[in-house]
Structure 1
Amino acid sequence: MNTIKHVFFDLDNTLWDFRKNAKFALAELYIKYDVETKHGFSFDEFHPYYHQSNEGLWAQIRDKEITKEELRARRFKQAFDNLGIDDDELAAIFEEEYMETITNYNEVVDGAMELLDYLKPKYSLHIITNGFIEVSKRKIESSILNGYFQTVTYADELKILKPDPRIFSHAIEKSEAKKEESIYIGDDWIADVVGSKKFGMSSIFFDRLNDNFSMDDVPTITHLDEVKNYL
């Protein structure tokens, strides 16, 4: 990979630890609205239902089955309903406050800063994210990730989501890079790896959840430090 000049990253769960920060934010809201006392379910009981709902709905967005507006309308209602809490008002409050609250927490994935410090003197660094633009901007600008990236491509700008090759094409044009001199690193097999490879860009799969997917010419890592073996 000695021809690489540009390194593109996914944001959520590749650099910015969405799962950890989301859990902190939800715990704060759970306490704020005294959910356990009012409904009898602890936060530890609630959280797996939220995780299942959110992950499933984001997969449906990626596969163009629903819109982001539908995700926002459904994720907390679905999580509370499945847990056994019939409270649409509470679900609406959680959705309204969640995206503001989550950016109060800015944990990054283990090894992210060490990797960025290693890469920055050698490569131009960029981000391509499917996340909500207003939230994703705050995630970057209010965290220690700020200042590392020459370009950030937001799916919301284009109304096109990874794995659609057009978002990778737009990011390449925006960064004035060439795809044969670029590589993409992400944790979502379909959105990140399948998408970037379909576009014709090299890719590294960050297999944080031990999904064990594989593809010819796609290295798999389980910790960001392993990127240094390839770049």
Structure 2
Amino acid sequence: MNTIKHVFFDLDNTLWDFRKNARFALAELYIKHDVENRYGFTFDEFHPHYHESNESLWALIRDKKITKEELRDRRFKEAFNNLGIDNDALAKIFEDEYMETITNFNEVVDGAMELLDYLKPKYQLHIITNGFIEVSKRKIETSELNGYFKTVTYADEIKILKPDPRIFDLAIEKSGANKEESIYIGDDWIADAVGAKAYGMAAIFFDRLDENLQMDGVPTITHLDEVRNYL
């Protein structure tokens, strides 16, 4: 990988610890709206239902089966319904407040800052994210990640999501890079690893969930420190 000049990253769960920050934000909302006392379910009982709903809906977005607006309409409603709470008004309150609350928490993935400090003197760094644009901007600007990236490409800019090659095209155009001198690092097998490889860009799969997925020419890592073995 001696020809690499540009390193592109996914944002959520690759650098910015979405799962951890989401849990903090949801726990705060759960207390604020007195859900346990009102309905008898603890936060620890609720959280797996939210996680399952959110992850499955984001997969449907990636596969172009639903829109982001549908995700926002459904994720808390489904989570509460599956828990046994039938309250659409509460679900809407959670969705409205969640988008603001989550960026009050800015934990980054273990090893992220050490890796960025290692890479920044050697490469131009960039982000490509499928996340909501305004929320993603706040995640970067209010966290330790701020100041490390030459460009950030938001799928919302053109309403096209990874792994669609057009989002990679936009990122390459904005960065002034070319794909032969670029590498992409992300934790979603389809959107990140398969998407970048199909586009013709080198890729590293960050296997945070121990999915044990493999593709010829795509190294797999389980901790960000391991990127140093390739760059």
TM bucket, shorter chain? over 0.9
In structure 2, what is the Cα distance between the partners aligned to 1:63 and 1:103?
Answer: 26
In structure 1, what is the Cα distance between the partners aligned to 2:66 and 2:167?
Answer: 18
- Offset at 1:148? 0.1
Q: Alpha-carbon deviations, 1:71-99, whole Å to 9, x = none?
A: 00000000000000011111000000001
- Offset at 1:2? 0.5
RMSD: 0.3
Equivalent residue, structure 1, for 2:15: 15
In structure 2, what is the Cα distance between the partners aligned to 1:215 and 1:75?
Answer: 32
Counting matched residue pairs gives 231
In structure 2, what is the Cα distance between the partners aligned to 1:16 and 1:116?
Answer: 12
Equivalent residue, structure 1, for 2:68: 68
Equivalent residue, structure 1, for 2:103: 103
Give 1:96's aligned amino acid. D
In structure 2, what is the Cα distance between the partners aligned to 1:217 and 1:115?
Answer: 22
Q: Alpha-carbon deviations, 1:48-91, whole Å to 9, x = none?
A: 00000000000000000000000000000000000000111110
Q: Alpha-carbon deviations, 1:110-166, whole Å to 9, x = none?
A: 000000000000000000000000100000000010000000000000111000011
In structure 1, what is the Cα distance between the partners aligned to 2:224 and 2:61?
Answer: 26
In structure 2, what is the Cα distance between the partners aligned to 1:66 and 1:220?
Answer: 29
Q: Alpha-carbon deviations, 1:7-55, whole Å to 9, x = none?
A: 0000000000000000000000000000000000000000000000000
Structure 1 alignment gaps of length 5 or more? none
Equivalent residue, structure 1, for 2:202: 202
Equivalent residue, structure 2, for 1:125: 125
Q: Alpha-carbon deviations, 1:172-198, whole Å to 9, x = none?
A: 111000100000000000000111011
SS at match of 2:211: coil
In structure 2, what is the Cα distance between the partners aligned to 1:170 and 1:99?
Answer: 26
Q: Alpha-carbon deviations, 1:187-231, whole Å to 9, x = none?
A: 000000111011100000000000011000100000000000000
Equivalent residue, structure 2, for 1:192: 192
SS at match of 1:74: helix
Identity level (%): 83
Structure 2 alignment gaps of length 5 or more? none
Equivalent residue, structure 2, for 1:84: 84
Equivalent residue, structure 1, for 2:178: 178
SS at match of 1:8: strand
Equivalent residue, structure 2, for 1:35: 35
In structure 2, what is the Cα distance between the partners aligned to 1:170 and 1:52?
Answer: 31
After TM superposition, list the pairs within 5 Å mapping 1:144-155 onto structure 2: 144-155=144-155
Equivalent residue, structure 1, for 2:221: 221
In structure 1, what is the Cα distance between the partners aligned to 2:186 and 2:32?
Answer: 34
TM-score normalised to the size of structure 1?
1.00
SS at match of 2:185: strand
Equivalent residue, structure 2, for 1:58: 58
TM-score normalised to the size of structure 2?
1.00
Equivalent residue, structure 2, for 1:25: 25
